[in-house]
Structure 1
Amino acid sequence: MSAQGAKGGADGSARHRPVMLAEVMRQLSVRPGGRYIDGTFGAGGYSRAILQAGGTVLAIDRDPTAIAGGEALKAEFGERLILVEGRFSELDEIAKTAGMAPADGVVLDIGVSSMQLDEAGRGFSFRLEGPLDMRMAGEGVTAADVVNRAPAKELARIIGGLGEERKAGRIAQAIAQARQEAPISTTVQLARIVEAASGGRAQGAPIHPATRTFQALRIFINRELEELAGALVAAERVLKEGGRLVVVAFHSLEDRIVKRFLRNRGEEQRGSRHQPFLAGPAPTFHILSRGAAPGEAEIAANPRARSARLRAGARTAAPARELDMRLLGVPALAGIPGPEAYQ
């Protein structure tokens, strides 16, 4: 599971630590009076730091609980914080409506938040007994819907493609057999099925056997990779020349999409060595960071930060481009319907 590290609490609590906060702030280069978009507000840690540095923040989150939790931060900083419940793939349109475009910076912290992981009732964590939910926005298809209704072959494609789980076929078959006896309705119930199908947890294994299965289901029902791809292009559209895009990702699928986006947008497009020079679109970003990792001290203090990778770019004056999902490496689950098919 994408162990999103704990964007620091809006109330300043130590429970939620913002991952790589110092590096995020260095790359954002916040200036007093500047306009910044926190596309994944969560517990508000990045937003708080930007506000303390003198910036104005548009904070977006699709989770209504996160937005409600930001009211204390808004009471502290007033009109310099704008809270909006919405999808970060639409951050450019949200920014226009809020009068926050063009923006001086966009920060994205990708994945599930510590608040969501730590609340059993949200159903994100296999370590806590709770309903098999996993919905970020609290509406639509649940993980239980998919687990109990998707054919085994489709489950295997989802778990293998979005979880990069090598035992996806075996796990999908185990799920299909278990649900014949009774619906799979809780996180612990599913975790036990997956663990047994995987052969148990090897001594010293760094992650639980259910990690990748839970990650795949969460990504699938929330359309997280498509949302991320859309958010990157939305950031490209809303940033002013010199504006900064800073993204912290925690899983290889997510980080790969960010890496490919910035590499594509940060290079001048030319023909291959076998073809004559072909002038292409000018770069839309100057690359600032190609994948910085947290230091040992931060990982020791916050183990959820261990897999974080930070990438950043500065916007050029070149016009924004259209989105190509294939170019960004968003897995194509051919023949698999969207999550709504299992509702």
Structure 2
Amino acid sequence: MMVSMWDTPGRLLRLLALLQRRRDWNAEQLAEELDVTPRTVRRDIGRLRELGYPVTTVLGAGGGYQLEAGATLPPLMFDTDEAIAVMVSLRDMVANTAAGTAEGALSAFVKLHRVMPPRLQPVVEAFLAHTSSLDLGTAIGPSAGPVNITTLVLLARACRDRRQLLCRYRRYSGEIGNRQLEPLHLVHTMGHWYLLAYSLESSGWRTFRVDRLSETQITNKPSYPRQPPAEDLHEYVTAQLAAGWRQVTGTVRVHAPRAQVDAWIRPAWGTVTEETANTCIVNAGADSYQAMARWLLLIGARLTILEPAELRTAFTDLAAEIARIADDNPAEERAI
């Protein structure tokens, strides 16, 4: 059944959403999606142009309509996932960026929140209240697996409603097992989402990589009103993650001022202690001495290895590897 020809406002919004979803459309495709005639589509395209939307026409057999970037920014259509992503990004910009940028982010946040549909507000507010961002630097290694925002919303709802979760969890070793969790908070750091939850199996608070959760469902069982594991959840998550990352530790003297080295050593990875005006002591950890040696070289300053002997061996092996690479790539070949 054809949509009423007088249902123009709603149809224009649907047309705008279609143009934002895909780059190229022809009139017949849009007409089929909107259940109207191609003539109505052409008329509606004209109305969008009058409203300031830069819709261009591409001529030829494969031609059609495209929504291009314009000189001004007209109103945009967001679905639930997009609205959550924008609101969370703006919140994090307010908290973690310079004053000038933060003011603009706060203004945009307030404007978007003010016009948000009532059905969407509880979803977004649950997400904002039970998620946060933690800056521990950039992860070195494989990127995280994809996390569906629907999963994040489900976890945030469970945190808000204080409901237990049932799920399957894949450990770092690859082992998969059932989990019964009482979720508290979601933290995004180093390219990963982590769920802080009380594990009923281990009777303790744990952090779980969200991309390793599967078959997650909210139950009707309420979470027990437990005391949070720490007053500062970010400090707790940092300590939990560091315990997993720092399988080995080592100490080196860096022949550079502490201020120069501080930028390289995040709290999750180690500590920097000033020794003299031009040297400092770094006590750090990693998942292996080989990884630690490669990482410490990135500081770009002379190092003296204090302990342990395994770290010195890792540097010796790394030097041999670098020498082999240099031998395999003579200077005359590199110059070609």
User: Could you tell me the TM-score, scaled by structure 2's length?
Assistant: 0.22
Q: Which structure shows the bigger proportion of residues in strand conformation?
A: 2
Q: Which has the higher contact order (CA 8 A, sep 6+)?
A: 1
User: Could you tell me the TM-score, scaled by structure 1's length?
Assistant: 0.22
Higher gyration radius (CA): 2
